Structure 1
C-alpha cells in the first residue's frame, strides 16, 4: 500500500537535534544519574528560545512566561481548549480544516460551527464573510495558517483584515494553528497571529515540532497564550499529564535555534515531489488550473468530477477513497475536512512512491 495520507513527512531527524538529545542522556548513560524532570511548563531555556523566535517574527512583546511546552500539539490543544471553553460555547472554524479540531472541540465541551470557504477563490476569508458568521455568543475562532489540508497561507494583510473584525468582539478568542509555518513556498514568510495587535489580549497560537522541524515522534508541542491562560494550562497539565521528557525538549531547543536552516532544507527536499504531484494532477482528465498551495506538504485536489453520479456527496467521496485504497493508494477523504470530493494528498514521500501512486490514481479515474 502506498500512502499519501500520512500527516508526517519522510524527513530525517536534524543532526543538531539528535546531538542535543544524546548530550542530555550522557549523564544517565555514563554516570548512572537519574533523568532530570522538567518543570511542567517546559525547560526555561526552551521557553525563552521559543519566545525569542516569535519576537524575531514580529511578535515583539512575547515573553517566556506565555510559552507552555506540551506533550505533543494535540495534548496542548486539548488542555488549552478545556481551559478556554465553557459547555456549549460556539466555536467558529473556517473549513476545509484539519479533521482533528472537530473531536477536540467536542471533548472540551464546545460546539463547533463550520464556516465553509471556497476553492473557487482560493479559500479567501474576507472581512465581510467573517463578520457575517460571528455572533456575540461566539467564544473562539480557529484558523490554521498554513492551512491543513488546503496549503493556503493567509498573508499579513489578510490577517490584519481578519483581526480588525475580531477586535469588534471583545469576548472572542482567536486561535492560530501555526504548526506548518516553516513549510512555505511563498515569497514572504508565514506571518504569526502574535505579531498582530490584540486589543483584548485574546490571541493564542499553537504549534509543534513534528512538521516544520522534522521531529515527528518526539512528542513535543507548544502554545503561546496570555500569561494567566498559560498558567491555567500549565496547572491543568500538572494535574492531568506530565512534562515533556528532557531529552526531547533539548532536541526541540536545538531545532528551534536552527529553525530557519531546518525549514529551508525541508522545503528544498520537498520541491521536486511538490512539482511532480502538481504536474500529475494537472495531467488528469478535466483538470482545472488551480493555485499551487503555498504551505504545508499537501495538495488538496478537486476530484468531484470523478464521483459516482446519483450518490450523496459524502457517500460518493468515501466510495472514491475506498476505490483508491483497493487499488493500492491511501489518501485523506476531503469530507473529513469539510469538503467531500476533494482529496488531501501528501508529497512528503519518496519520489518513486509518488510516481507509482499517481499512476494508480490515473488508472482508477480513467486515464
Structure 2
C-alpha cells in the first residue's frame, strides 16, 4: 500500500526515540540513567489527582464542546491575568490535547502551501514538522550560545521573504534553557509590526524559570500586538501532568474559532475528566509549582557546575526549563574503544547510551549538531551518578 508523500517525509521524534531506546534497555535489565525525557520526575500533585477521581466518580466521562470545558477556558483566562496581567475572554481560548495539538491546529489554520515560518535554532524538534505538515516551509535562523541564542535583528531580517507569514518563539527554551531578553523580544516585535507577521509564543515552561521573576513573553513588551500573537501553553510541565494531555491556544477569536472547527473534525474535545483536573491545577494552590521550580533550579546549578569541570564540555547555563544544552564537539573525531569514530551528536549520544549507560538527546535533532541535550528531571543523586558515568565514558574516547 502506498503511503502519502507527507508521511514518507515526516521524521520521527528524536526525543521520543531516545527515550524509547533507554526504556528498552532498562526492560532488558540494563542500568540506564535516562536524561532524555522531557517530563518532570515528580508525581502529579495529590489535589489534582483527587479532582480527576471525583470527576470520574461523578460520571464526568462524556463529550464536551470541542473548544473545551467553559470552566477550564475561564481558568486559563484567570491564570493569564494572575501570571502576566493579561485580560482574555473564554471565547479567545481553545482547550487542546496537549500544547502540541495547539501548535498543530494553529499551523493548519494559519498556513497555506509555500508559506514560510521563521524558527530560531536551536528549536524544539516538532516545530519544523508541524509547519511542514501544514504545507509551510520552516526557515531556520541560527544563533550562538555566546549571544544567549538570540539572533540579531539583521540575522532575522535577512531570512524574511515575501512568503514569510510568522515566527515561533519558545522562552524559556527547549532545548537551551534560555530566557529571551526584553531587548530581543522588543526587536522581534518591531519586525512583526513592520512586516505584518504573526507570532506563536510557546510558553509551556513559563512557570519554570530560575530567577524568581513572573512569566514574560512577547506581549509583555509589545501589548499592541495582541491581535497578531498566539499564546500556547498547557499543564504538562508546570504541574507534572504530561500524560494528561491538556493544553490550550489563546489568541484572536476568529482564529481560535477556526482552530476549534479543525479540532471538531479531528480529535473533538480533550479528555473530559482531565479537563476537570486541569481546572483545579490552574485555579487551586500553586505551591506545588514553586516546589518543583526550586528543585529544578538546584539541579540546574549542580549540573552546570559538574559538567563545566569536565575538560572538553562547554555547557550553556540554563535559566529555566529542566534541560541543559552542552557543546560536546571537542570529542568529535575521536574513536570509541571498539574503534568507531564519533562523527557528530548522534554518534556520541549513541555511544554514551550503549557504553556509558546514560541517555541524552543528540543536538542535531534541535538544529545544532555540536550539542547534546541533558534533562535534569532526575534526583540530585541520580544526576551525580550520571555525571560520573559521562566523565568515565568520555575518558575512554581516544
In the superposition, the TM-score normalised over structure 1's length comes to 0.92
Give 1:17's aligned residue. Answer: 48
Counterpart contact for 2:175–2:366, Cα < 8 Å = yes
Report whether the alignment pairs 1:80 with 2:109: no
Deviates more, 1:194-203 or 1:335-344: 194-203
Counterpart contact for 2:55–2:273, Cα < 8 Å = yes
Deviation at 1:242, TM superposition (A): 1.9
Q: The residue matched to 2:242 in structure 1 has which SS?
A: coil
Q: CA separation in 2, counterparts of 1:238 and 1:209?
A: 22
Q: The residue matched to 2:141 in structure 1 has which SS?
A: strand
By relative contact order (CA 8 Å, sep 6+), the higher-ranking structure is 1
Deviation at 1:222, TM superposition (A): 0.7
Give 1:137's aligned residue. Answer: 163
- The superposition leaves residues 46-77 of structure 1 with CA deviations (integer Å, 9 ceiling, x where unpaired) of 10111122123345332111110001122221
- 2:143 pairs with one of 117, 121, 125: 117
Give 2:7's aligned residue. Answer: none
Report whether the alignment pairs 1:177 with 2:202: yes
Deviation at 1:287, TM superposition (A): 4.5
| Alignment RMSD | 2.1
The change in CA–CA distance for 1:335 and 1:352 in structure 2 (over 3 A counts) is: same
Q: The residue matched to 1:168 in structure 2 has which SS?
A: helix
Give 1:155's aligned residue. Answer: 181
Report whether the alignment pairs 1:333 with 2:362: yes
Unaligned runs of 5+ residues in structure 1 are 29-33
The change in CA–CA distance for 1:69 and 1:352 in structure 2 (over 3 A counts) is: same
Q: CA separation in 2, counterparts of 1:291 and 1:303?
A: 11
Give 1:7's aligned residue. Answer: 38
The change in CA–CA distance for 1:104 and 1:91 in structure 2 (over 3 A counts) is: same
Report whether the alignment pairs 1:306 with 2:335: no
- 2:217 pairs with one of 175, 187, 192: 192
Counterpart contact for 1:57–1:192, Cα < 8 Å = no
1:282-301 alignment, distance < 5 Å: 282-288=308-314, 292-301=317-326
Q: The residue matched to 1:133 in structure 2 has which SS?
A: coil
Deviation at 1:235, TM superposition (A): 0.6
- The superposition leaves residues 305-360 of structure 1 with CA deviations (integer Å, 9 ceiling, x where unpaired) of 111169xx994221111110112111010011011020100111122322221111
Q: CA separation in 1, counterparts of 2:205 and 2:264?
A: 27
How many equivalent pairs are there?
358
Counterpart contact for 1:303–1:341, Cα < 8 Å = yes
Deviation at 1:80, TM superposition (A): 1.4
In the superposition, the TM-score normalised over structure 2's length comes to 0.85
Q: CA separation in 1, counterparts of 2:178 and 2:67?
A: 31
Q: CA separation in 1, counterparts of 2:240 and 2:285?
A: 10
- The superposition leaves residues 16-46 of structure 1 with CA deviations (integer Å, 9 ceiling, x where unpaired) of 2112112212223xxxxx7232211111111
Q: CA separation in 2, counterparts of 1:259 and 1:80?
A: 31
The change in CA–CA distance for 1:314 and 1:220 in structure 2 (over 3 A counts) is: farther
- 2:392 pairs with one of 349, 363, 366: 363
- The superposition leaves residues 72-131 of structure 1 with CA deviations (integer Å, 9 ceiling, x where unpaired) of 122221111111110011111010010111211111111111000101212123333323
Q: CA separation in 1, counterparts of 2:330 and 2:97?
A: 41
- 1:349 pairs with one of 378, 381, 392: 378
Give 1:107's aligned residue. Answer: 133
Counterpart contact for 2:312–2:328, Cα < 8 Å = no
- 1:215 pairs with one of 232, 241, 260: 241
Report whether the alignment pairs 1:49 with 2:78: no
Deviation at 1:261, TM superposition (A): 2.3
Q: CA separation in 2, counterparts of 1:134 and 1:212?
A: 34
Give 1:31's aligned residue. Answer: none
- 1:321 pairs with one of 349, 354, 362: 349
- The superposition leaves residues 141-193 of structure 1 with CA deviations (integer Å, 9 ceiling, x where unpaired) of 011111100000113443223212211012x2111111011111024223033
Report whether the alignment pairs 1:94 with 2:120: yes
Give 1:26's aligned residue. Answer: 57
Q: The residue matched to 1:5 in structure 2 has which SS?
A: coil
Counterpart contact for 1:5–1:330, Cα < 8 Å = yes
Counterpart contact for 1:182–1:260, Cα < 8 Å = no
Counterpart contact for 2:332–2:343, Cα < 8 Å = no
Deviation at 1:291, TM superposition (A): 5.3
Deviation at 1:215, TM superposition (A): 0.7
Deviation at 1:260, TM superposition (A): 4.0
